[in-house]
A and B are shown apart, each in its own frame.
Chain A
Amino acid sequence: MSNWERLVWNQQGVLLQGLGVTVEVCLIAFAVAITGGLTLCLIRTYFPPLRFAAIVLIEFFRATPIFVQLVWIAYVWPELFGWPNSFFTAGWLALGLQSSGYLAETFRAGIEGVARGHREAGYSVGMSPLLVFQRIVMPQAVLTVSPSIVNQFTVIVKSSTLISVITVQDLMFQAMKLVNVWYEPIEILTVTAGIYIVMVFLVSTAGKMLADLLRRRYGLAAA
């Protein structure tokens, strides 16, 4: 098993560095996805003048493959908008935007899932629309959709392997670099695949536990 030691164990610094970049990109992308998804969803539901634009954006993000979006944002946007100015930024931006499209639809399902009677009850005791949204709709919607939000994070982690293609130095990038140095892919790629599978498994297990907890405590079914 000296191969494992030479190819994987002795390279752990490089691999861990890559893992750090992966985690960083995924967390930033997740924050972007939640903010963007919520914004898109609110515009679509409550702001008719821009509704059409929001729907176009949501459908575009949802119906375009992440790899295509990634190279499009990385190579075309800098010329088009002068931003993003680094591949790192392009990486989290693409991952975040793609997921914001999905999350917008998830949030919408959560908001529409709140029983009409709850809202009407709020109005009938004299709450303003904003207060009804803040106190009645939002807390329930967030609870029902939170397992789906965690699931979306697993999608981000899985898609994040692709940012290595635009030379962001994440775990996948470092693994491929080691493969190209040694030409011995078996150990490196297997370990890398294992790391990713464990990472995604942990996140999705957390999501499942969260869904169970919510169901037990609040009697909510996952959206």
Chain B
Amino acid sequence: MSDAFWQSVDLSTFWEYRQVLLAGLWFNVYVFACSATVALAVGLAAALLRVNRSWPFRWIGTVHVELFRNAPDYIMVVWVHFVLPLLLGALIGRRLEIHPFVSAVIALGFVYSGYFAETFRAGIQAIPVGHVEAARACGMADRLILRRIILPQVVRRMLPEAVNQFVSLFKATTIVSLIAVPDLMYQVSMVIATEMRPLPLYTGAALTYFAVIYFVATGVRLLSERWRNKIYA
């Protein structure tokens, strides 16, 4: 027992492979950045549909949100990776291959767009009607109102909630290893396959993710609070 304990705390094997593993961690960041961009763009579009005046648009927005918010991210990643190329291929009439990285970004981006849509919507609906009416009375067009009056306030309001969702999204990037995107977890399992020493490697991976997520999230929360306070003051 104590032997196993020292084996798993002894991280020298983990350290030995630091270059490969670091490259894997960068892949996590890379997947995160791309899918966060997709999630924000699609989420904003869905939120705008949900607050639209005509009901068919609202309905599409609601279906989008309910579909993706209630879908487990692993099955969505698998579905996009295995099913989507076949469906699209049948549509255009030839074989289609989607790179695992692209599947991962599409799947995670769309799943998290559901969460971001709700955050955006809550932010939009929290803005007093008077602001929009005042802008309209000044003769601003709808798109200008969105850009100058609504979005700047929404971003500030939704920031704490959005940071939480970015954290969840980053944590979700670990599952892309399951469709062979070479992220940290993937590299860890590759190293385990050659070294046959799962204890220190899995422990090292857990500690690395914990350190990265905990400190970055705390730092970002601190900065965003400071920024919000400065603007509200």
Contacts and interface: CB of A to CB of B under 8 A. Distances in A.
Contact of A59 (B7, B82, B86, B214): B214
A65 B172 contact: yes
Nearest to B68: A197
Contacts of B171: 64-66
Nearest to A203: B70
Contacts of A82: 1
A206 B46 CA distance: 24
Contacts of A63: 167, 209-210, 213-214, 217
Contacts of B220: none
Contacts of A196: 70-72, 75
B206 interface: yes
B209 A68 contact: yes
Interface string B126-165: 0000000000000000000000000000000000000000
Contact of A67 (B66, B175, B203, B210): B175
A76 interface: yes
B69 to A, nearest CB: 8
Contacts of A64: 171, 206, 209-210, 213
A192 B8 CA distance: 37
Contact of A162 (B4, B5, B175, B206): B175
B199 A79 contact: yes
A209 interface: no
Contacts of A3: none
Which of A68, A162, A190: most chain B Cβ within 10 A?
A68
B174 A65 contact: yes
A183 B8 CA distance: 39
A158 B67 contact: no
Interface in B61-111: 66-67, 69-76, 78-79, 82-83, 86-87
Nearest to B5: A80
B70 A204 contact: yes
A82 B5 CA distance: 11
Contact of A80 (B8, B67, B175): B8
Interface residue SS majority, chain B: helix
Nearest to A202: B70
Contacts of B20: none
Interface string B185-227: 1000000000000110011011001100110010000000000
B41 interface: no
A172 B185 contact: no
Interface in A51-78: 59-60, 63-69, 71-72, 75-76
Nearest to A64: B210
Given A63-B213, A66-B171, A185-B82, A79 B4 contact: yes
B199 A172 contact: no
A198 B70 CA distance: 8
A197 B206 contact: no
B178 interface: yes
Nearest to A78: B4
B213 A185 contact: no
A121 interface: no
Interface string B1-14: 10011011000000
A43 interface: no
B4 A201 contact: no
B203 A72 contact: yes
Contacts of B87: 186
A189 B209 contact: no
Nearest to B214: A63
Which of A64, A157, A160, A190: most chain B Cβ within 10 A?
A64
A23 interface: no
A50 interface: no
A176 interface: yes
Interface in A24-67: 59-60, 63-67
Nearest to A172: B75
Contact of B79 (A66, A67, A190, A198): A190
25 contacts: A63-B210, A67-B174, A67-B178, A68-B185, A68-B202, A68-B205, A68-B209, A69-B206, A71-B202, A75-B198, A76-B8, A76-B198, A79-B8, A79-B199, A81-B1, A82-B1, A158-B72, A159-B72, A161-B74, A162-B74, A165-B178, A186-B86, A189-B83, A197-B67, A200-B71
